[in-house]
């Protein structure tokens, strides 16, 4: 049988694969510590859960408008106006089944066969797969540790061609936790305006920022920047609602209409109950969010300190999200029980087999010799997990 070549070209998510393997080992009785999960370990706040229950009781269980219920759109618009000074109308907002679905809508609405998408690495593992599914061509723009794994306008300029259609930016970043500054974004936005390049701005971690850093959206740099920017966000990360599957886009009106039409024939509307829960998340009390950010900041400080105490490992201190990007170049080439560590994949495999610690190797993120650790786990797990990693590294020869 002949299947779709485009579908066959898509690989499974390595982050979800690592998480699934760790869970399988735990179920078999192994004491596994997992640093792979890309979701908060906190429960969804009570007020949000009760809002969902109320929606069920009130009978809000039918189809909704394809692009989302009016009150949720209004809450999204208010959120961006109050926090970032950007004004959007309801017909410029599309609510979808999670931010991943929002991204899929964006790529399918924007790309024609062979259109080039600038993708700074390291990048979230799903971006290249969605680009390929939509018929686009991934153009990887490498970054360096010395630049905090961030891309500059000068870097991007080298990769722009007549086929360049869009740029993907993720700030705060998964996997590095880095946050773009106003000056860095200004240079990038000006370049995109000059070359009529769309900016897909993934802002899913916008509220998980530390040390007084501020999130800046590319859409805030004037009307032309707003017209070319498609913001992707959602409630999954900031409100511990990964399973509720509500994401959204803010874009120009024409593109929003295209994405609404696309969504109408793929998933119809997002889950009605989850939409009312998301409305409560954005419009209700924010104390739970503040507490989560405070706790993540403490964990970030701890894991950063413990990582950099291990000889051969190093990292740049994350500024947001809940990941730390660890440089393994100091241990590449060494061996464990006669097995040479020739890649991050090999390091991760041997670490899981011998110390029962699950990490995500960097190959799926478009960069060699690194690993991603999520600190969306307990302080106890962070301490024990890093102790095991240190023990493993000290055995290397």
Total count of residues recorded for the chain: 397
Tell which phi-psi region holds residue 321, choosing left (phi > 0), alpha (psi between -120 and 50) or beta.
Answer: left
Question: What average pLDDT does range 114-129 have in this prediction?
Answer: 97
Convert the pLDDT of each residue in 356-373 to its tens digit: 999 999 999 999 999 999
- Where residue 1 falls among pLDDT bands split at 50, 70, 90? low
pTM: 0.96
**Is residue 356 within 8 Å of residue 362, measured between CB atoms?**
no
Token pair 């087999």 is found at 353
Convert the pLDDT of each residue in 130-153 to its tens digit: 999 999 999 999 999 999 999 999
Least confident piece of the model among 37-41, 265-269, 291-295: 37-41
Helices (H), 134-250: 153-157, 182-194, 223-228
Per 3-state DSSP, the chain is made up of helix, strand and coil in percentages (nearest 5) of 45, 15, 40
**Is residue 182 within 8 Å of residue 47, measured between CB atoms?**
no
> Residue 336 in 3-state DSSP?
strand
pLDDT at 189 over 70: yes
- Where residue 76 falls among pLDDT bands split at 50, 70, 90? very high
pLDDT at 195: 98
pLDDT at 15: 67
Contacts of 134 (CB under 8 A, 6+ apart): 104, 107, 108, 110, 111
Convert the pLDDT of each residue in 219-256 to its tens digit: 999 999 999 999 999 999 999 999 999 999 999 999 99
pLDDT at 21 over 90: no
- Give the mean pLDDT of the chain: 96
Using only C-alpha atoms, the chain has a radius of gyration, in whole angstroms, of 21
Who wins on pLDDT, 129 or 22? 129
Rounded CA separation 75/81 (Å): 10
Q: What is the dihedral of CA 141, 142, 145, 151, to 10 degrees?
A: -10
**Is residue 121 within 8 Å of residue 366, measured between CB atoms?**
yes
Q: What percent of the chain has pLDDT over 90?
A: 91
Q: What percent of the chain has pLDDT over 70?
A: 98
pLDDT at 108: 98
Q: CA angle at residue 75 from 71 to 76, to 5 degrees?
A: 120
**Is residue 209 within 8 Å of residue 290, measured between CB atoms?**
no
Q: CA angle at residue 78 from 233 to 260, to 5 degrees?
A: 50
Token pair 């060494």 is found at 334
Q: Which two tokens stand for residue 288?
A: 């739970």
Token pair 């899929």 is found at 104
Q: Which two tokens stand for residue 353?
A: 């087999």
């Amino acid at each position: 049988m002949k299947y779709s070549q485009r579908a066959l070209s898509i690989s499974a998510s390595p982050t979800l694969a690592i998480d699934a393997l760790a869970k399988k080992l735990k179920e078999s009785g192994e004491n596994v510590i997992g640093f792979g999960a890309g979701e908060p370990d906190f429960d969804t706040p009570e007020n949000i859960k009760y809002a969902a229950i109320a929606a069920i009781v009130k009978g809000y269980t039918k189809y909704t408008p394809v692009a989302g219920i009016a009150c949720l759109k209004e809450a999204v618009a208010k959120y961006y106006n109050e926090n970032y000074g950007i004004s959007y109308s309801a017909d410029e907002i599309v609510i979808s089944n999670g931010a991943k679905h929002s991204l899929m809508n964006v790529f399918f609405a924007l790309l024609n066969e062979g259109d080039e998408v600038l993708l700074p690495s390291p990048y979230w593992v799903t971006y290249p797969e969605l680009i390929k599914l939509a018929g686009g061509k991934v153009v990887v723009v490498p970054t360096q540790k010395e630049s905090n794994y961030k891309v500059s306008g000068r870097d991007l300029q080298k990769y722009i061609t007549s086929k360049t259609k869009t740029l993907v930016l993720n700030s705060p970043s998964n996997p590095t936790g880095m946050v773009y500054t106003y000056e860095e974004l200004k240079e990038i936005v000006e370049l995109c305006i000059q070359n009529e390049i769309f900016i897909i701005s993934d802002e899913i971690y916008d509220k998980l920022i530390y040390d007084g850093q501020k999130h800046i959206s590319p859409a805030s740099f004037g009307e032309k920047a707003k017209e070319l920017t498609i913001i992707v966000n959602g409630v999954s990360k900031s409100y511990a609602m990964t399973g509720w599957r509500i994401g959204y886009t803010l874009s120009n009106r024409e593109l929003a209409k295209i994405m609404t039409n696309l969504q109408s024939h793929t998933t119809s509307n997002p889950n009605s109950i989850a939409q009312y829960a998301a409305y409560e998340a954005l419009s209700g009390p924010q104390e739970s969010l503040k507490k989560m950010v405070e706790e993540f900041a403490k964990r970030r400080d701890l894991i950063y300190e413990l990582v950099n105490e291990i000889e051969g490992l190093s990292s740049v201190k994350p500024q947001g999200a809940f990941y730390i990007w660890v440089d393994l170049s100091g241990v590449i080439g060494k061996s464990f029980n006669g097995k040479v560590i020739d890649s991050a994949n090999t390091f991760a495999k041997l670490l899981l087999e011998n110390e029962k610690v699950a990490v995500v190797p960097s190959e799926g993120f478009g960069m060699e010799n690194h690993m991603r650790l999520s600190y969306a786990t307990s302080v106890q797990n962070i301490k024990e997990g890093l102790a095991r990693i240190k023990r493993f590294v000290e055995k290397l020869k």
